[in-house]
Amino acid sequence: MIRHQPRSQRPVVVLGLLAAVLLLGGCASNRQASQLESTVSAYGATLRWGDFESALAFVDPKVLAKHPMTRFDMARYAQVRVSTYDTQGVLPSPPGEFRQIVAIGLINRNTQVERGIIDHQTWRYDAKTQKWWLESGLPDITQGE
């Protein structure tokens, strides 16, 4: 099961995320840090709503070209509902990269059984497009099956 943080500790996680964003590479611009914060927040909101199809828009196009999502993959995502999405921590990252760990609760729509997975996210800043892209892809919802 997923270990949930008490609400009193969530501001600490958010402050840690903001500190990591500001320290990103030691010289990241405020704009780049702001973009990261809004991108990661929007992605989290998209997953909280269980909209895996829209979440694909956050995945690096190069990653999707190498590992395209099949109908079977998307059908598997359609079988679960997201019950929780909690950032567990931020990992040290080189400049232009951001890594975080997220605990995700999933409920199987058919059996109504809940289980938890851990998503290790890696985000990369593309200076050409001036966007942050999710390099690690959508969460692996087959964990623990």
Average pLDDT estimate for 49-72: 96
Per-residue pLDDT band at 8 (split at 50, 70, 90): very low
Say whether pLDDT at 136 is over 60: yes
Return mean pLDDT, the chain. Answer: 86
Burial annotation 109-134 (CB, 10 A radius, 16+ → b, else e): eeeeeebbbebebbbbbeeeeeebbb
Residue with the bigger pLDDT between 119 and 30: it is: 119
The confidence score (pLDDT) of residue 29 equals: 74
Chain segment 22-56, per-residue pLDDT in tens = 444 444 578 899 999 999 999 999 999 999 999 99
Query: 6-15, 41-50, 91-100: lowest mean pLDDT where?
Result: 6-15
Separation of alpha carbons 10 and 15, rounded Å: 9
Q: Are 56 and 63 in contact (CB under 8 A)?
A: no
Phi then psi dihedrals of residue 115, to 5 deg: -145, 165
Predicted pLDDT of residue 10: 47
CA-to-CA dists, residue 8 to 12, 14, 15, 91, angstroms: 8, 11, 12, 21
131-134/114-126 β-pairing: antiparallel
* CATH fold of the domain at 7-134: Nuclear Transport Factor 2; Chain: A, (3.10.450)
Q: What is the pTM of this model?
A: 0.79
pLDDT at position 134 is 98
Q: What is the pLDDT of residue 5?
A: 52
